[in-house]
């Protein structure tokens, strides 16, 4: 490429075994809008000469070094994807100046730092944030003010951190568009006091009542914790749930009847709890395989093969009680 510049708007080259570092001349390209080179073996650091793009996609390469301190100059940037690279260091505060960003993908790198420092509320259009598999601290203050956020992925990002106990850490009013929150295998400990958490942690105690405000929530994973059975009553407003996994949580009591109004569930799992009684009858719940209810020996009714005898026993008890009352009212009369 010549130094005079080339009018190329959208260079794309994915899965072509490109290797080495990016040529310096690529930054001389005029009117560059998108730079998409995913699924290659490009290496080296991100150059400070990078153009003011709208899309920057280097998914699955070998890029290393830190995210540019002056990254904020990319004021037009809407989509950035550096998933599966070797980036390290903190998120630069200047990233918050990219106020047009809609999606940020930085998963599976070696990033670290305190997530309470960046002011993500400045990125008002941010709808998806993927920081999976890094090593961040600061937990959930990141969400404050992110009212457009519908997907937050932090799986494996924390290392045995305690759950926040300060009510100011979480603003549930900023969660109203959140559809998916992933904190799987973060090793979080303690009690949930102001946020939704996910599977394979050491969470115990009750879920905050504010969870009922997340009426657009479509996926909720709380399996392999020690969640209080109150969760079954606190999700009554979440009628748009598509996936619900509450397995191995030591839940007890009956499955509430309001779950017959859940019409969108494609995944439902309450394996290995202490639930009991009849499974509420509805087209939705009976459509799941019996394996979704296994490990609850006191549960009965379809789709499980065991019938509910407790109803028959209740009818028998009522019958005997009626006979006793009649015998007391009419002494000397034999009731068959």
In which band, very low, low, confident or very high, does the pLDDT at 198 lie, cut at 50, 70 and 90? low
**CA 106 centroid distance within chain:** 16
Tokens 């850490």 sit on residue: 169
Reported as type and span, the H/E element at residue 20 is strand 19-20
Per-position DSSP letters for 97-145, written without gaps between them: G-TT--EEE--SSEEEEETTSS-GGG-TT--EEE-TTSEEESGGGGGTT
Give 176 or 71, the one with higher predicted confidence.
Answer: 71
With a cut of 60, say whether residue 192 has pLDDT above it: no
**CA 152 centroid distance within chain:** 6
Q: What is the pLDDT of residues 7-53, one digit of tens each?
A: 444 455 555 566 778 777 776 666 778 888 899 999 999 888 887 88
- Alpha carbons within 13 angstroms on the beta-carbon side of residue 29 total 21
Q: In what order do the strands lie in the sheet with 189-191?
A: 189-191, 202-205, 226-227
Angle at the Cα of 322 (from 318 to 324), degrees rounded to 5? 120
Break the chain into its structural domains and give their ranges. 19-303, 306-336
Query: Which class is 19-303 in CATH?
Result: alpha beta
Say whether the peptide bond before residue 303 is cis (omega within 30 degrees of 0). yes
Tokens representing 147 are 């009212």
Q: What is the pLDDT of residues 272-324, one digit of tens each?
A: 999 999 999 887 889 999 999 999 999 999 999 988 975 544 545 555 566 66
Q: What is the pLDDT of residues 205-249, one digit of tens each?
A: 776 666 776 777 788 888 888 887 878 888 888 888 888 889 988
Tokens representing 283 are 């087209």
In which band, very low, low, confident or very high, does the pLDDT at 186 lie, cut at 50, 70 and 90? low
Integer Cα distance of 188 and 159 in angstroms? 7
Intra-chain end-to-end CA distance of the chain, in Å: 103
Around Cβ 70, how many Cβ atoms within 10 Å?
Answer: 11
- Give the DSSP letter of residue 216: T
Integer Cα distance of 119 and 122 in angstroms? 6
Nearest C-alpha neighbor of 47 from the set 72, 68, 31:
68
Tokens 């799987």 sit on residue: 184
- Calculate the dihedral angle through the C-alpha atoms of 212, 162, 242, 227, rounding to the nearest 10 degrees: -70
Query: Taking the complete model, does pTM exceed 0.85, yes or no?
Result: no
Picking from 103-107, 108-112, 324-328, which range would have the lowest pLDDT averaged per residue? 324-328
pLDDT (average), residues 129-136: 88
Integer Cα distance of 85 and 58 in angstroms? 8
pLDDT (average), residues 84-97: 93
């Amino acid at each position: 490429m010549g130094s005079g510049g080339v009018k190329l708007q959208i260079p794309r080259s994915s899965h072509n075994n490109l290797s080495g570092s990016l040529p310096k001349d690529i930054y001389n390209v005029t009117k560059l809008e998108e730079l998409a080179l995913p699924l290659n073996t490009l290496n080296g650091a991100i150059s400070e000469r990078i153009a003011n793009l709208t899309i920057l996609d280097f998914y699955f390469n070998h890029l290393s070094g830190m995210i540019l301190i002056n990254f904020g100059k990319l004021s037009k940037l809407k989509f950035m994807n550096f998933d599966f690279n070797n980036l390290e260091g903190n998120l630069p505060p200047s990233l918050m100046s990219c106020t047009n960003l809609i999606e940020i993908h930085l998963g599976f790198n070696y990033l670290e730092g305190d997530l309470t420092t960046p002011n993500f509320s400045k990125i008002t259009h941010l709808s998806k944030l993927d920081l999976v598999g890094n090593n961040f601290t600061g937990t959930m203050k990141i969400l404050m003010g992110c009212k457009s956020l519908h997907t937050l992925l932090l799986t494996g990002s924390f290392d045995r951190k305690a759950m926040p106990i300060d009510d100011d850490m979480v603003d549930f009013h900023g969660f109203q568009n959140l559809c998916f929150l992933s904190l799987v295998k973060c090793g979080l400990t303690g009690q949930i006091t102001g946020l939704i958490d996910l599977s394979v942690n050491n969470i115990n105690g009750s879920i905050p009542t504010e969870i009922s405000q997340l009426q657009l929530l479509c996926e909720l994973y709380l399996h392999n914790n020690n969640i209080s059975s109150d969760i079954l009553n606190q999700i009554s407003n979440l009628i748009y749930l598509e996936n619900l996994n509450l397995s191995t949580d030591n839940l007890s009591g009956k499955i509430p009847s309001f779950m017959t109004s859940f019409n969108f569930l494609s995944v439902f799992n309450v394996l290995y709890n202490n639930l009991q009684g009849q499974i509420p009858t509805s087209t939705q719940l009976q459509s799941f395989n019996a394996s979704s209810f296994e490990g609850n020996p006191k549960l009965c009714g379809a789709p499980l093969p065991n019938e509910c005898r407790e109803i028959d026993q209740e009818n028998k008890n009522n019958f005997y009680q009626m006979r006793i009352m009649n015998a007391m009212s009419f002494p000397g009369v034999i009731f068959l």
